[in-house]
Amino acid sequence: MASRLASALLCALLIASCGAESDDEPIILRNSNGMEVHLLRTGACVQRLLVPDSAGDTVDVMMGFDDAESYRNGTSVSGCIIGRYGGRITGGKFSLDGKDYQLETGKDGNTLHGGGIGYSKREWELAAVSPGTANGTNDSWAVLTLDSPDGDQNFPGNVSLEVTYTLTDANELIIDISAVSDAATPINVFNHPYFNLAGLTSDNATILDHVLTINSDYFIATDPETGTPTELEPVAGSPEDFTDAHAIGERIGEFANTIKGYQTQYLLFGTDKASEDFFGAEPAQLAATLVHPASGRALDILTTAPTMVLYTANSLKGKFETKGGVRPQQYAAVALEATMLPDAGNEPAFPAPVLRPGQEYRNHVVWRFYDV
């Protein structure tokens, strides 16, 4: 990781030009095509993701809130960094190197996204920022850091985290997450976006007309009562099959008597074997493509992560107010999360990704926007 002192000096020189004059003001990245990314120190969140289409119309494709305080107190983690272990941990328990650990649990008796006050509600340090001209290009970037102490959320180990956001003139937002620890700890840190490529401009916004492709032949089946991962199942012949492009709403009705939508974790890149490694691919490969036919906006997601979670915001029912006063309803946005394996190793078929001293955790994802 880069020197914190050098980064701090660079940050002090450049912060004003990126718009972040106070801790709650967004850090603004821009490229030459009119694309903008607004970042917050709170949760290292992508607050706004302004993407133009071929006609020059720009919309915010990221669900979120108008101010940092709403991220600290709100129920949505859209665009934010999740950790220490994103996803569900059954019973809030795991064992590591012969020791049992109990985490904070929610109403369902499980731990979600690490439990307690997760990384999405923490105040990250802005370590470095540049409005452009990085490495001889017109890239615009920002680096945020967080120290997660031993015992944080009842996880072992002092963990130092760094996330770098880079906006390129190829309309790519590149997210690089890295972490080191002084003791062994399960880890699954990632950005948790909720996209709507048409923009969430009304309470009736939907992603059911978005067309999705996922580069996966297998998904991780779960117990319908507990959500516990059980085994790998082939996507062929199931509504989970997005190996060919389909509208998200085309087969979503097949879930009407269960979870009423997609909440599926896919093993990426044609792999049929789970691994405790942090990488499903190296370098990053194409994991998913999302297209909004009416506007022509499209998104490719490339990643090194071994899995991708598809979640169609099944539980949204106008429970909270987002940007512009919109109260999003069911299926208003779609989460496409590049993650590690689920459940912190509680199911032997899915070994936990464990970060040990001397190793570096990495989660690399690229959101590439273009027109079709």
* Residue ranges per structural domain of the chain: 4-371
CATH for the stretch 4-371: 2.70.98.10
Rounded to an integer, the average pLDDT of 215-228 is 87
Instruction: Please name which of 315, 310, 255, 306 lies closest in space to residue 284, comparing C-alpha atoms.
Output: 306
Residues 6 or more apart whose CB falls under 8 angstroms from that of 13 comprise: none
Could you give the percent of the chain with pLDDT greater than 70?
Answer: 91
Decide if 192 is catalytic. yes
What's the pLDDT band for 21 if we cut at 50, 70, 90? low
Q: How many CB atoms lie within 10 A of CB 328?
A: 27
Q: Which of 113, 192, 210, 292 is catalytic?
A: 192
pLDDT tens column, 157-202 = 999 999 999 999 999 999 999 999 999 999 999 999 999 999 999 9
Q: Which of 240, 337, 347, 364 is catalytic?
A: 337
pLDDT tens column, 255-284 = 766 678 999 999 998 888 777 778 888 899
Q: What is the pLDDT of residue 139?
A: 77
- Of 57 and 184, which is predicted with more confidence? 184
Decide if 282 is catalytic. no
